[in-house]
């Protein structure tokens, strides 16, 4: 977030969107507050944590999904949506694309939102953005277009 603030302060154009790792295990609560302050929209990168931590078998998420007769993926996407976070999950399977879109016919209760909040480890499941070697690797990486 320090880099985002630096970018905003030293440039005339404020980023409209910032895609950051955001999922039940890395919820980015403080980052969300900061981006809201600067009117920057969060877009979730890895909304399903790329399947790590057995996210689709997590007891909390499974129990919430059963309560609403939805999939764990739908619960995660609904949770992000209710937090005002944009999520564009990748899928090449037509049935999953349809499932991912069908999240607007239910709303998670405050209790469910609080249960999901307990899953936050406040750490990336992938790498540290504060590690100089990771920063160098990210900056030198070619985009796959």
pLDDT of residue 71: 98
Listed in sequence order, the residues at least 6 apart from 45 whose beta carbon sits closer than 8 Å to its beta carbon are 19, 20, 21, 22
Of the listed ranges 36-40, 53-57, 116-120, 137-141, the one predicted with least confidence: 137-141
- The reply to whether 108 falls in a domain is yes
Give per-residue pLDDT as tens, 16-29: 999 999 999 999 99
Closest to 17 measured CA to CA, from 78, 120, 87:
87
Is the predicted pLDDT of residue 145 greater than 50, yes or no? no
- The reply to whether 145 falls in a domain is no
Structural contact between residues 44 and 73, judged by C-beta atoms closer than 8 angstroms: no
- The reply to whether 100 falls in a domain is yes
CA distance 91 to 98: 10
Provide mean pLDDT across the span 122-141.
72
- The reply to whether 87 falls in a domain is yes
Show the tokens assigned to 49: 């944590």
pTM assigned to the model: 0.85
Burial 84-106 (b: 16+ CB within 10 A, else e): ebebebeeeeeeeeebbeebeee
* CATH at 128: 3.20.20.100
pLDDT of residue 90: 87
Of the listed ranges 17-21, 83-87, 119-123, 130-134, the one predicted with least confidence: 130-134
| The total number of structural domains that make up the chain | 1
Give the chain's radius of gyration (CA, Å): 16
Which residue range is the domain that position 113 belongs to?
2-140
Give per-residue pLDDT as tens, 72-103: 999 999 999 999 999 999 889 999 999 999 99
Structural contact between residues 113 and 71, judged by C-beta atoms closer than 8 angstroms: no
Phi then psi for residue 49, to 5 deg, are 55, 25
- The reply to whether 101 falls in a domain is yes
Give per-residue pLDDT as tens, 28-55: 999 999 999 999 999 999 999 999 999 9
- The reply to whether 113 falls in a domain is yes
- The reply to whether 13 falls in a domain is yes
CA distance 28 to 46: 13
Classify residue 34 by burial, with Cβ atoms within 10 Å: 0-12, 13-18, 19+.
middle
């Amino acid at each position: 977030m320090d880099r985002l603030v630096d970018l905003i302060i030293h440039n005339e154009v404020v980023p409209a969107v910032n895609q950051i790792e955001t999922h039940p295990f890395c919820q980015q609560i403080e980052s969300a507050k900061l981006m809201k302050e600067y009117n920057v929209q969060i877009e979730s990168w890895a909304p399903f944590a790329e399947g790590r931590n057995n996210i689709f078998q997590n007891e909390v998420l499974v129990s919430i999904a059963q309560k609403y007769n939805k999939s764990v993926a739908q619960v995660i996407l609904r949770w992000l949506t209710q937090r005002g976070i944009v999520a564009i999950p990748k899928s090449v399977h037509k049935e999953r694309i349809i499932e991912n879109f069908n999240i607007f016919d239910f709303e998670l209760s405050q209790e469910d939102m609080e249960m999901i909040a307990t899953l936050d480890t406040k750490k990336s499941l992938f790498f540290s953005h504060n590690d100089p070697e990771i920063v160098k690797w990210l900056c030198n990486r070619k985009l796959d277009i």
